[in-house]
């Protein structure tokens, strides 16, 4: 029996099979009665190709994961090589070269003394691991009252129940509120919330003062502050001044509260530095990475932590061990993909060439910046965002559809349009992206 009735005849058998059997994420499935799925059969560079060989410029890196385009020769070759050696072995009691090499390299390139790598498969799981480790550390240290977490207003940390508890995005959270743990969300440093005439920096300092006020009173019960460094992605690419991170680190130290940096979206060069925390010269107690870690190829995430935290669990008694068992922890194929990603960063001087690309895009985008419908045009590293003045509740959906007609993959968050292109985007492709976006704005 078919559960989906197709109201338009343009749905191909391929699309219909998907509607009949696949429950797509973040989607009201009924909308696909009128908006067909895009069937992708192959990808190359920034381009995704559908069944009729139309190319779509993947301007949002396939949900923020793709760093170096699709079917990159270096990553492809690494995975193929690994495939003939060992694809996967359980990581409890076993180890292998890709997971060792990746951990060593992450230890070398991340800030400060982060050096113990705990792996999982997705971002939300990394959040869960960091929260559990922080809580467990304090339990073992005799601070059994530290059972609460603090995050920022508008933060997003994933959608499993623990991660959703520390998330503050109503659309994802509202329905499940009865299942969640209470969490305090302190004032966001996002400069869009600054008072009139207030600078981004002074707003960030005001938000830091609010954090201090909260922790001064509640630190004895607080295990950790979890934040998205520099950019609050899911709530519309809110950007903030690095001074907030500096202050947050000082405040957490002062009150013996862990700082968890969720760099799942911003890690690996998105903000211009390899990791966002570098811009404030801080080291978190836990660093969560996923998305770009494997170049967007394979599900892989990791939590890095300090020697201090690691030693807290290091004990004769097995009850002191950190028990969190992901079946695919440290998957060899995914680790090899991640190693290839780090090779590309080094060999192709990605952070430097990104600066040139970012400048090129900013120069090309002056027409967007000055467009009468555009407000808050902003850029940080390889992320651009702006709000479009509209009252249309269907804006995001209509913009996405109009984008496909321009051969662009853009998927606004509410009325926030953003670009998060693969780093291999060329100047010609940047021109196409800007021109297409302007055309949509002028015709929507």
Ligand X SMILES: *Cc1c(COP(=O)(O)O)cnc(C)c1O
Q: Is 124 annotated as a binding residue?
A: yes
What is the C-alpha separation between 380 and 55, in angstroms, rounded? 27
Piece of the chain touching ligand X by CB under 6 A; list 150-158, 174-182, 381-389, 423-431: 150-158
Nearer to ligand X, 143 or 411 (CB): 411
Q: Is 17 annotated as a binding residue?
A: no
Q: How many CB atoms lie within 10 A of CB 161?
A: 13
Instruction: Say whether 225 sits in a helix, a strand or coil.
Output: strand
Contact yes or no for 225/211 (Cβ under 8 A): yes
Nearer to ligand X, 285 or 365 (CB): 285
| First CA to last CA distance, the chain | 39
Nearest approach in angstroms of CB 278 to ligand X is 17
Nearest approach in angstroms of CB 264 to ligand X is 4
Q: How many CB atoms lie within 10 A of CB 286?
A: 26
Q: Is 194 annotated as a binding residue?
A: no
Q: Is 136 annotated as a binding residue?
A: no
What is the C-alpha separation between 428 and 5, in angstroms, rounded? 42
Q: Is 291 annotated as a binding residue?
A: yes
Nearest approach in angstroms of CB 121 to ligand X is 8
Nearest approach in angstroms of CB 260 to ligand X is 11
Q: Give 174's Cβ-side CA count (13 Å radius).
A: 2
Nearer to ligand X, 48 or 265 (CB): 265
What token pair was written down for 420?
Answer: 């998060």
Residues of span 164-193 touching ligand X by CB under 6 A: none
What token pair was written down for 231?
Answer: 């950019």
Q: Is 50 annotated as a binding residue?
A: no
Q: Is 197 annotated as a binding residue?
A: no
What token pair was written down for 107?
Answer: 């230890």
Q: Which of 43, 69, 123, 238 binds ligand X (CB under 6 A)?
A: 123
Nearest approach in angstroms of CB 266 to ligand X is 7
Nearer to ligand X, 63 or 400 (CB): 63
Nearer to ligand X, 208 or 298 (CB): 298
Q: How many CB atoms lie within 10 A of CB 133?
A: 26
Nearest approach in angstroms of CB 162 to ligand X is 12
Nearest approach in angstroms of CB 443 to ligand X is 31
Q: Which of 138, 149, 156, 275 binds ligand X (CB under 6 A)?
A: 156
According to DSSP, the β-strands at 238-239 and 231-232 are: antiparallel
Q: Identify the helix (H) or strand (E) that includes residue 118.
A: strand 116-120
Residues of span 266-325 touching ligand X by CB under 6 A: 290-291
Q: Which of 58, 128, 190, 262 binds ligand X (CB under 6 A)?
A: 262
Contact yes or no for 429/357 (Cβ under 8 A): no
The CA-atom distances, in angstroms, between 54 and each of 50, 58, 115, 439 are 5, 12, 45, 19
Nearest alpha-carbon partner for 423 in 53, 58, 56, 50: 58
Burial of 212 (0-12, 13-18, 19+ CB in 10 A): middle
Q: Is 96 annotated as a binding residue?
A: no
- Count residues binding ligand X (CB under 6 A): 14
Instruction: Say whether 119 sits in a helix, a strand or coil.
Output: strand
Residue 128 binds ligand X, judged by CB under 6 A: no
What token pair was written down for 98?
Answer: 């890709």
Nearest approach in angstroms of CB 381 to ligand X is 15
Nearer to ligand X, 63 or 193 (CB): 63
Residues of span 232-251 touching ligand X by CB under 6 A: 233
Largest CA-CA distance found in the chain, in angstroms, rounded: 68
Structure-token match 């059969």, residue found: 41
According to DSSP, the β-strands at 383-388 and 47-50 are: unpaired
Nearer to ligand X, 172 or 313 (CB): 172
Q: Which of 124, 169, 208, 358 binds ligand X (CB under 6 A)?
A: 124
Nearest approach in angstroms of CB 131 to ligand X is 12
Piece of the chain touching ligand X by CB under 6 A; list 174-182, 183-191, 262-270, 276-284: 262-270
Residue 228 binds ligand X, judged by CB under 6 A: yes
In this chain, which residue has its C-beta nearest to ligand X?
Answer: 123
For residues 9 to 48, the per-residue mask of contacts with ligand X, x marking binding by CB under 6 A and - elsewhere, is ----------------------------------------
C-alpha 150: how far from chain center: 19
What token pair was written down for 66?
Answer: 């793709």
Q: Is 63 annotated as a binding residue?
A: yes
Contact yes or no for 250/284 (Cβ under 8 A): no
Q: Is 262 annotated as a binding residue?
A: yes
Q: Binding site membership for pyridoxal 5'-phosphate: which residues?
A: 123-124, 262, 326-327
Q: Binding site membership: which residues?
A: 63, 123-124, 156, 262, 291, 325-327, 411
Interface with ligand X by CB under 6 A: which residues?
Answer: 122-124, 127, 156-158, 228, 233, 262, 264-265, 290-291
């Amino acid at each position: 029996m078919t559960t989906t009735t197709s109201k338009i005849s343009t749905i191909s058998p391929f699309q219909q099979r998907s509607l009949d059997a696949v429950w797509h994420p973040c989607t009201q499935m009924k909308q696909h009665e009128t908006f067909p799925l895009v069937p992708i059969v192959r990808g190359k560079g920034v381009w995704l190709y559908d069944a009729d060989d139309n190319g779509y410029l993947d301007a949002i890196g396939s949900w923020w994961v793709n760093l170096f385009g699709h079917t990159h020769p270096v990553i492809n070759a690494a995975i193929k090589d690994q495939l003939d050696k060992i694809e996967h072995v359980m990581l409890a009691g076993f180890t292998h070269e890709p997971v060792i090499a990746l951990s060593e390299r992450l230890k070398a390139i991340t800030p400060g003394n982060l050096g113990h790598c705990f792996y999982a498969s997705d971002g939300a799981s990394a959040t869960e691991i960091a929260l559990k480790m922080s809580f467990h550390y304090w339990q073992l240290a005799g601070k059994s009252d530290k059972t609460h977490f603090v995050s920022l207003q508008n933060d997003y940390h994933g959608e499993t129940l623990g991660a959703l508890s520390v998330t503050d995005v109503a659309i994802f959270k509202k329905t499940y509120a009865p299942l969640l743990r209470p969490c305090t969300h302190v004032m966001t440093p996002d400069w869009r919330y600054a008072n009139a005439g207030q600078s981004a920096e002074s707003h960030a300092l005001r938000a830091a003062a609010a954090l201090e006020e909260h922790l001064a009173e509640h630190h004895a019960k607080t295990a950790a502050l979890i934040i998205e460094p520099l950019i609050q992605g899911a709530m519309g690419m809110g950007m903030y001044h690095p001074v907030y991170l500096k202050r947050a680190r000082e405040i957490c130290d002062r009150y013996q509260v862990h700082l968890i940096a969720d760099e799942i979206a911003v890690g690996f060069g998105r903000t211009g530095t390899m990791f966002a925390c570098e811009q404030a010269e801080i080291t978190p107690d836990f660093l969560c990475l996923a998305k770009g870690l494997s170049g967007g190829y394979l599900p892989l995430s990791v939590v890095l932590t300090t020697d201090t935290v690691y030693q807290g669990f290091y004990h004769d008694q097995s009850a002191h061990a950190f028990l969190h068992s992901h079946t695919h922890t440290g998957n060899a194929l995914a680790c090899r993909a991640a190693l290839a990603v780090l090779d590309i960063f080094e060999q192709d001087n990605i952070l430097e060439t990104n600066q040139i690309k970012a400048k090129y895009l900013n120069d090309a985008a002056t027409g967007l910046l000055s467009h009468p419908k555009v407000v808050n045009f902003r850029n940080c590293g390889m992320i651009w965002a702006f709000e479009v003045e509209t009252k249309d509740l269907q804006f995001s959906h209509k913009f996405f559809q109009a984008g496909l007609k321009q051969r662009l993959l853009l998927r606004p968050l509410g009325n926030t349009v953003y670009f998060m292109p693969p780093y291999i985007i060329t100047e010609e492709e940047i021109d196409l992206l800007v021109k297409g976006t302007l055309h949509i704005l002028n015709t929507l």
